[in-house]
Structure 1
Amino acid sequence: MMEIFLTWLINTSLVTSVVALLILFIKYIFKEKLGARWHYSIWSLLLIRMSIPFAPEAPFSLFNLYNHFSNIMINNDVHKNEILQKQMINDNQVNELIKISGDYFLSVNKTIFSSPVGIKFLIWIVGVLIVMLSMVIYNSYFYNKLRDKEYILEGDSVKLVENCSYRMQINRKIKIAQTNKLKSPVLFGVVNPTLIFPRSILAELRYEELQHIIFHELAHYKRKDIIVNWIITILQIVHWFNPIIWYAFYRMRHDREVACDAYVLSYLEPHEYRKYGLTIIKMLENTALPSSVPQIAGFSSNKSHIKNRISMIASFKEELGLIRIKKLIIFTLLACIILTNGTGMSRTGMAMEFNTNLENVVYEDLEEYFKGYEGSFVLLDENDDRYYIYNRLKSKKPMSPCSTFKIVISLIGLENGILKDENTELKWNGNEYPIQPWNKDHTLASAIRYSVNWYFENVIQAIGEKAMKDKIELIDYGNNDISGGMTKFWIQSSLKISPIEQVNMLKEIYNNEIPFDRKNIDTVKNVLRISKSKDSILSGKTGTGAVNNKAINGWFIGYIEKDGSVYFFAVNIEGENEANGVNARRIALSILKDKGLY
């Protein structure tokens, strides 16, 4: 669940960063042609996009641009292979297909913070708590200032608030109070909104100036700006790590004040605009209110933004109905392309993919084979250099290789002279394992067959961390990350590789395209051989990732040599349990059998 949440969070942050940059670009290009309220309203699309957990897919989405460029050279059609659907054989037939050993593995016991994902989640939590704590401390300090506020129950200021409320068509009674602790008037609270004035301002301002300020604060109430403040605060806490989001909200707050001014001007007569502008200048020159208190709304612009606000006030004109309709149409179209996902994004929760593109691909519908699992199938027909893929996005998703990585351990062990050949025997250390075939001496061949963890852990230790890292980077295996511990990085830990990468790695090994001695590669080919039928040879390796005694990540990778051609394949399955190498192998063999390859 943590990995799913973090994937969603990062992808949402990336997507909304794109949305924020697009909005800033549109605002810059059409700066003079958009009204103040439109400049602010467009930010609502960012808030909506950040607030919804999932967005519908649409062909007109902005994020289809990624799919377009990533698939420019790819045949993106999904072929439903009816022949395969009709020829699917049952589990018993698959099990009778070949007699090979089972998939042997041990469970990794993990606490919530014992994995790289858990550590990332912990960092995010710590960041959330720090940002929340700083906001709580600052807001508590501000709220303490309001404890001695004194409600005003009658007088000219009360009548003025009532009159302004009437003019702005606000039916709710807005309370008014005064205090010595504030320097700027604010609108406080959502449930019981109250206008709070500094005593000095109530005493010094003229009637018309006070009216302008009340209009401004009531405009915040009418526009629900305090509620928006809370939404911004929550989203900013969740995305505390994203500077683009912080900057976008900074700009949004300033646009809000300009929009609020425009809203007030719509209730004033043209000859009152200049006087309203002078009141705003007077307030901002002496009382600049911080914008990090979500419970209030007031004069929160910095002095550097006075010019923008005054410029808007000086040039303000009521929009004609036709212009409003045009802007509404543009806003609706923009909402459609921003608030939707590109085709295929919602199916996996992966908002964006950055893997290397492939040429000459056929996408197949093999869903029937993967019932009960989230899985992918990749087949490379070397003869015509064509990939056959089920589940495009998951085929690119990096996963822990688990015991399939023992292929690479074997290669490096042979290359570094730790292993001589397939008959190199290592002595069992006497530790009793729950898997009985592990409790004896093993050769490389038998260790591959029974997936003996202790054998390969010994080989890794003999190789050493530096040599292991150098060799992995030399062949560019997945993400090349062995930071998860020398004997554990390949078991539900730091090392990750996608099904497509697995297939490409097998191809490079088979064709001697990696800088390893050919004799060592041939040795590994021999130990990977599983079975032989009348016209084909099957080679491969299973792998299972089990966490807290539940198999959640199953692999079967390998290749088939048939009639002078070679077919490389990889199947990966994920699930809450029973997603193991045996079931991955069963699925792979079903597909390969129905394709007539074995």
Structure 2
Amino acid sequence: MSPADLLMARFLLASAGCLAAGLAVWAVTALCRRKLPDFAAQRSLWLLSQVTIVAAFLVILLPHSERLRIIPQIDLENVTQVGVPSATATATKAPAAGTPAGSGAPAGETSWLASGARAWLLIYLLGLGYSIIKLVHARRMLNGLAAAGSRIDTRHPHDGFAGPAPAVPAPDVIEVDAPISPMLFGLIKPRLLLPRHLRSLAPVQQQLIVAHELTHLRRHDLQWMSAGVLLQTLLWFNPFMRLLRVNLSWAQELGCDREVLRGRPQLQRKAYAAALVAQLRLQHHTVATALAFGGVSERSVAARIALIREPAGAPRPLWARCAAIAILAGVVLGSLAFQPALAWRIDAAPHALQNAAPSPASASTGTSNSAVLLSCTAMIDAARGQRLVHEGQCDERVTPASTFNIVVSLMGYDSGFLRDEHAPLLPFKAGYADWNDSWRASTDPTSWMRNSTVWYAQQVTAHLGAAQFQRYINRFDYGNRDVLGGAGDDNALTLPWISSTLVISPVEQLAFLRKVVKRELGLAPAAYDMTARITRLDDLDNGWEVHGKTGTSAPVTVGGPEDAKHEYGWFVGWASKGRRTIVFARLVLDPRQEGHAAGTRAKRAFLRDLPARLDALN
């Protein structure tokens, strides 16, 4: 599955999620209309409800932390990985001219999810185009009505403006000879359309109608309406968006009714209701991009007349409104927590399975590639930032684990705490992290980087302090920048990079390492030099100099317990030869194997194929 297919699959999942969110939001608003009628009559409820659905749609598109996820990953089997072939395959058969290296399997071998996602994206774009055309048509119709009418000014007085001067500057007023309801439109340049038959109503009715439209202007209802129409257009496939937008219009009309009639005698209130009924009889259809006095439908006009006769009672307590808003916020959080991750099992192309040699770890444990739950291999050119390889799910944010030691090294050398490859040499003390036997010994920067000694990195971060540590992370723009640690963990300086709050994607690892290679982080030159020294590995047979760091950590579930059955394996770094440098990131999530760390397995597999990959890029 290509990155584009993965993005389309997320879009399909987000579309389904926002339909579910729409149902939940509509249930909340229906409850508000029954139990909190005064709150339901507020325009803020309906626009906030639309924003909630859009937010639920957007959060599903974003990479998430494992800690926030409740629903497990969806494993998509029999998906062919597309990318650069293995070293043996490359040596056996060179790619044809004009074909990307390692194209793998035929393009037709895609998953059912990819096919469905592509179809849905096409349907969405067609529907979006149709919705936009409808809006353009409505706008042209309103402009046509305005062009056919005549402007009302002091030379053409109108009884509707005979009352007190409005509190806001009056818009351009145009009288038209058409059976329409008085309406206000124009987000940037508001215009008020008044039908000629309005002059047949009593002067007091004309004044009340004009006051109603000018109240829309003063309350900035055109902006509220435009926001609702825009959100409905973007999610045109969600029927609840239209229902919410219609109720927003109803609430706007009701709000103007209340303000215009506040303090008016009963006789004027009856005249106002009669004018509403008269306009409803003349109105053929409403326009979504205008605020029409005639209302949205017969049902909404009936509700407005009922409230005109019997105004709403005292508002409900503030806690009731806060509860409704909290429930809407819960819909967004639920969309985040219940969103399943799209992971797939990588099945190599048939020729790759025949030619590629198994890694030592898989050969000794019997684990096949089909057991991989998440996989990414990404490479970019450091000088130009050009994407060279992008295989798998490379936008998923996970814990950086010990690859974060590259960050700690840069901070330590820049601050002066670390001095060279062998200084400072720090002794092991009781109470230090001692998960591995190699950690229970005096450690210097070189052995720390080689053994991923957690307690040594903790001494560096403790020396920096929380404030300076956070400043470095912000300067580096590293992942989500969250080094505060989990609630109650008290690990802001000790373990935020291991199965905690700090997460980063392979794509973000590449962006960070590119800045390291190009020395664009604003650090002392020694920080780059010494970090390069302690991360250097053995040169490849084809002459490339490699620097890298592994990382191994378990995923976490909601509430914090680790997944004891799986491990993330990282290997990130860069390879240089002559004037060219290639930055790389490799990430896998596969079953835990006793005695074989996931990071080490990822490193071995990547380095085995790296010479052929680099040769293919030349």
Normalised to the residue count of structure 1, the TM-score between the two structures is 0.51
| Distance in 2 separating the partners of 1:447 and 1:333 | 61
| Distance in 2 separating the partners of 1:577 and 1:341 | 40
**Does structure 2 retain, via aligned residues, the 8 Å contact 1:39–1:255?**
yes
| CA 1:585–1:50: 2 relative to 1, 3 Å | closer
1:337 aligns with 2:327: yes
**Does structure 1 retain, via aligned residues, the 8 Å contact 2:161–2:210?**
yes
**Does structure 1 retain, via aligned residues, the 8 Å contact 2:131–2:233?**
yes
- Three-state SS of the structure 2 residue aligned to 1:145 is helix
| CA 1:276–1:48: 2 relative to 1, 3 Å | same
1:159-174 matched pairs, under 5 angstroms: 160-161=160-161, 163-166=163-166, 170-174=167-171
CA offset at residue 147 of structure 1? 0.8
- 2:225 aligned residue (220, 224, 229): 229
1:11 aligns with 2:17: yes
CA offset at residue 272 of structure 1? 2.3
1:539 aligns with 2:367: yes
Q: Quote the residue 2:362 is aligned against.
A: 530
| CA 1:46–1:125: 2 relative to 1, 3 Å | same
Q: Quote the residue 1:187 is aligned against.
A: 184
- Three-state SS of the structure 1 residue aligned to 2:597 is helix
1:350-499 matched pairs, under 5 angstroms: 350=336, 352-353=338-339, 397-403=341-347, 447=354, 450=357
| Distance in 2 separating the partners of 1:398 and 1:55 | 16
| CA 1:191–1:175: 2 relative to 1, 3 Å | same
CA offset at residue 222 of structure 1? 2.6
**Does structure 1 retain, via aligned residues, the 8 Å contact 2:235–2:241?**
yes
1:94-243 matched pairs, under 5 angstroms: 106-107=102-103, 116=115, 117-154=117-154, 157=157, 160-161=160-161, 163-166=163-166, 170-202=167-199, 204-243=200-239
Deviations 1:472-501 (A, max 9, x none): xxxxxxxxxxxxxxxxxxxxxxxxxxxxxx
Equivalenced residue count is 369
1:590 aligns with 2:588: no
CA offset at residue 398 of structure 1? 3.1
| CA 1:174–1:163: 2 relative to 1, 3 Å | farther
| Distance in 1 separating the partners of 2:354 and 2:176 | 80
CA offset at residue 157 of structure 1? 4.6
**Does structure 1 retain, via aligned residues, the 8 Å contact 2:152–2:174?**
yes
Listed as ranges, the gaps of 5+ residues in structure 1 are 58-66, 72-99, 354-395, 407-432, 439-445, 452-526, 556-566
**Does structure 1 retain, via aligned residues, the 8 Å contact 2:346–2:369?**
no
- Three-state SS of the structure 2 residue aligned to 1:47 is helix
CA offset at residue 148 of structure 1? 2.1
1:552 aligns with 2:459: no
Q: Quote the residue 2:32 is aligned against.
A: 26
Q: Quote the residue 1:43 is aligned against.
A: 46
Percent of matched pairs sharing the same residue: 15
| CA 1:103–1:214: 2 relative to 1, 3 Å | farther
Deviations 1:284-309 (A, max 9, x none): 122354132x1444323223443322
| Distance in 2 separating the partners of 1:190 and 1:150 | 21
**Does structure 2 retain, via aligned residues, the 8 Å contact 1:186–1:195?**
yes
- Three-state SS of the structure 1 residue aligned to 2:178 is coil
| Distance in 2 separating the partners of 1:574 and 1:308 | 65
| Distance in 2 separating the partners of 1:136 and 1:26 | 34
Deviations 1:512-543 (A, max 9, x none): xxxxxxxxxxxxxxx998344xxxx4533276
| Distance in 1 separating the partners of 2:180 and 2:213 | 15
- 2:311 aligned residue (292, 316, 319): 316
Q: Quote the residue 2:259 is aligned against.
A: 263
Question: Which amino acid in 2 is paired with 1:47?
Answer: Q
- Three-state SS of the structure 2 residue aligned to 1:530 is helix
| CA 1:286–1:150: 2 relative to 1, 3 Å | same
Question: Which amino acid in 1 is paired with 2:224?
Answer: V
| Distance in 2 separating the partners of 1:207 and 1:238 | 42
Deviations 1:187-238 (A, max 9, x none): 1323332322122322x12211111211221232233222222222211221
Deviations 1:117-176 (A, max 9, x none): 44432221111012211332243234212212211111685574374553xxx2323332
**Does structure 1 retain, via aligned residues, the 8 Å contact 2:24–2:331?**
no
| Distance in 1 separating the partners of 2:261 and 2:311 | 8
| CA 1:554–1:14: 2 relative to 1, 3 Å | closer
| CA 1:281–1:341: 2 relative to 1, 3 Å | closer
Question: Which amino acid in 2 is paired with 1:550?
Answer: V
| Distance in 2 separating the partners of 1:9 and 1:574 | 34
Q: Quote the residue 2:545 is aligned against.
A: none
Deviations 1:260-289 (A, max 9, x none): 323322252344222221221222122354
| Distance in 2 separating the partners of 1:47 and 1:9 | 14
| Distance in 1 separating the partners of 2:257 and 2:321 | 21
**Does structure 1 retain, via aligned residues, the 8 Å contact 2:182–2:195?**
yes
CA offset at residue 569 of structure 1? 4.2
| Distance in 2 separating the partners of 1:238 and 1:42 | 19
1:296-311 matched pairs, under 5 angstroms: 296-311=291-306
| Distance in 2 separating the partners of 1:182 and 1:223 | 26
